[in-house]
Amino acid sequence: MVSRKISIIAPTFNEVGNVIPFIEGVKTALHELDWEILFVDDNSTDGTARKIFEHAHDDTRIRVITRLDDRGLAKSSIQGMLSAKGDLLCVMDADGQHDPSVVRDMISKLDADHLQIVSAARRLDDDRSSDALSPMRQKLSHFGNWLSGLVLGRKLGDPLTGFFLMTRDSFLHVAPRLGDPGFKLLLDILYSDKSLRHAEVPFDFGSRMHGASKLDSHVIWKFVTFLMSKMTGSILPPNLISFLFVGGTGVFIHFSVLYTVLGMSAPFMVAQVAATLVAATSNFLLNNLLTFQDRRLRGLAKFWGYLKFLAVSSVGIVANVSAATLAYERLVHVVFIATLAGIAIDTVWKFVIANRFIWK
Ligand code: GDD
Ligand code: MN
């Protein structure tokens, strides 16, 4: 094996019980190689960064980068990869699920086949991995794999793995093109530079040592909108897709409330106002939860944001109606198309304002 520096990039969020065994595991697995570990910690509340610092205070091969105001596995990995000194960069989980001895297999594969990137593919179907992944997570993984295959245009054993190794040069080349895919950085890298010479090595996905997974519904939503954005050829950004989806649920809610209130023999105007208010409120809450999860408003800021959103929505109605009328009178005499034009203008207007002035 040629001697080069290997940087292990390990993003952490609340892994206090895992980081010391992780360090020891890397030391054992890579003992005679030239290596460093870069933890990228999103300001864990359980003292993860302090623990590493105390344990590895005198070891210059081990560093912690702390990010104060942001969360995200992919974003942390990118940050760590950009700050690493190694010729080879390896991203891996610090919770014990990624066996450090696989790093050697990846390096050998990279060298033997003159590759630029090698990923470690989880063996999903055997009995051992079913301990590590719940049946639900396995199903989700299979579905995610299938969708990712569509986006990438080729089938991989495990495009969603979080364990991969690449040359520093090829990473620096692709880095400016990366977005925020939540947890799935590998997929974004392979998508953003299709010329990368890549292969997989299989490995057994272990069980977490301590603590719990951070993969929650927000991470999944981020990934789904990321994939959909790629399917539009990146024309629609992920949060616009999320915004449109929320808008779609709003239309559904609007009609449900409208017919319910009309059913109680209320006047049309009253039903319309009620439907508009309920739909706008639900849109606001859902956007706060999903579309702008990274900039989520809380407390008083949430209340002000809500008032602004209502104001923007009411102006949006005017914009919608005038755009639709204009389109109908000046451009096309088709009600459906003119209405769509109105909705499109309204949505874009709301999205721009929401992005700039509400969830700043
Ligand atoms: N800095 C930072 N910020 N680190 C994070 C964050 C974050 O927001 N979220 C998670 N991590 C760290 C964890 O501390 C852990 O070291 C590693 O990223 C993986 O997180 P887990 O929460 O254990 O993820 P998982 O086991 O559910 O998912 C793993 O397997 C997936 C495939 O099933 C990851 O490797 C994923 O990348 C992979 O897609
Ligand atoms: Mn894990």
In the chain, what percentage of residues exceed pLDDT 90? 68
Q: Which atom of ligand 1 is nearest to the CA of 214?
A: 22
The two three-digit tokens of residue 324, written as one number: 């639709």
AA identity, residue 240: L
Are the beta carbons of 208 and 134 closer than 8 angstroms? no
Contacts of 40 (CB under 8 A, 6+ apart): 9, 10, 11, 12, 64, 65, 67, 76, 77, 79, 80
Give the pocket of ligand 1 (CB within 6 Å). Answer: 11-13, 15, 40-42, 71-73, 76, 93-95, 97, 141, 160-162, 183-184, 213-215
* Same domain membership, residue 153 and residue 11: yes
Instruction: Give the burial string for 28-40 (b: 16+ CB within 10 Å, else e).
Output: ebbeebebbbbbb
pLDDT in tens, 34-59: 999 999 999 999 999 999 999 999 99
Q: Is the pLDDT of residue 242 over 80?
A: yes
Q: How many CB atoms lie within 10 A of CB 199?
A: 16
* Residue 2: φ, ψ to 5°: -65, 145
AA identity, residue 353: I
Distance 214 CA to ligand 1 centre (A): 6
Give residue 125's pLDDT.
63
The two three-digit tokens of residue 36, written as one number: 């460093």
Q: Which of 231, 246, 270 is the last residue of a domain?
A: 231
Half-sphere CA count of 176, side-chain side, radius 13 A:
2
Going by alpha carbons, the residue nearest to atom 25 of ligand 1 is 213
Q: Which ligand is nearest to the CA of 164?
A: 1
Q: Which atom of ligand 1 is nearest to the CA of 133?
A: 33
pLDDT in tens, 131-157: 667 888 888 888 888 889 988 988 899
* Same domain membership, residue 71 and residue 212: yes
* Same domain membership, residue 273 and residue 189: no
* Same domain membership, residue 206 and residue 305: no
Q: Which of 231, 258, 276 is the last residue of a domain?
A: 231
* Same domain membership, residue 179 and residue 270: no
Q: Report the CATH number at residue 66.
A: 3.90.550.10
Q: Which atom of ligand 1 is nearest to the CA of 215?
A: 27
Dist. CA 164–CA 118, nearest whole Å: 6
For residue 9, the Cα-to-chain-centroid distance in whole angstroms is: 18
Residue range of the domain that includes 97: 5-231
* H/E segment holding residue 89: strand 88-91
Going by alpha carbons, the residue nearest to atom 34 of ligand 1 is 162
* Same domain membership, residue 266 and residue 205: no
Give residue 345's pLDDT.
81
- Residue 209 is given by DSSP the state S
pLDDT in tens, 151-199: 898 889 999 999 999 999 999 999 999 988 778 999 999 999 999 999 9
Residue whose tokens read 């096309």: 332
Ligand 1 pocket: which of 23, 68, 93, 210 to mutate (most atoms within 8 A of CB): 93
* Same domain membership, residue 97 and residue 35: yes
Dist. CA 230–CA 161, nearest whole Å: 19
Going by alpha carbons, the residue nearest to atom 19 of ligand 1 is 93
Q: Is the pLDDT of residue 219 over 70?
A: yes
User: What's the mean per-residue pLDDT of the chain?
Assistant: 91
Half-sphere CA count of 222, side-chain side, radius 13 A:
22
Give residue 214's pLDDT.
92
Give residue 69's pLDDT.
86
Distance 131 CA to ligand 2 centre (A): 12
Tell me the pTM: 0.86
Nearest to 52 by CA among 43, 44, 64: 64
* Residue 102: φ, ψ to 5°: -70, -20
Number of domains in the chain: 2
Ligand 1 pocket: which of 8, 9, 13 to mutate (most atoms within 8 A of CB): 13
Query: What angle is formed at CA 15 by the lines to CA 11 and CA 16, rounded to 5 degrees?
Result: 130
Dist. CA 210–CA 290, nearest whole Å: 28
* Same domain membership, residue 253 and residue 209: no
* H/E segment holding residue 140: helix 135-152
Distance 327 CA to ligand 1 centre (A): 48
Going by alpha carbons, the residue nearest to atom 32 of ligand 1 is 161
Per DSSP bridges, beta strands 164-167 and 117-122 are antiparallel
* H/E segment holding residue 278: helix 268-286
Going by alpha carbons, the residue nearest to atom 28 of ligand 1 is 215
* Same domain membership, residue 192 and residue 60: yes
Q: Which of 231, 257, 278 is the last residue of a domain?
A: 231
Range name among 59-73, 226-240, 308-322 with the lowest pLDDT average: 308-322
Range name among 17-21, 29-33, 335-339, 351-355 with the lowest pLDDT average: 335-339
* Same domain membership, residue 172 and residue 29: yes
Q: Which ligand is nearest to the CA of 8?
A: 1
Q: Which ligand is nearest to the CA of 14?
A: 1
Are the beta carbons of 158 and 119 closer than 8 angstroms? yes
pLDDT in tens, 265-279: 988 888 888 888 899
The two three-digit tokens of residue 218, written as one number: 């927000």
Distance 234 CA to ligand 1 centre (A): 25
* Same domain membership, residue 225 and residue 294: no
Per DSSP bridges, beta strands 164-167 and 88-91 are antiparallel
Give residue 140's pLDDT.
81
* Same domain membership, residue 106 and residue 153: yes
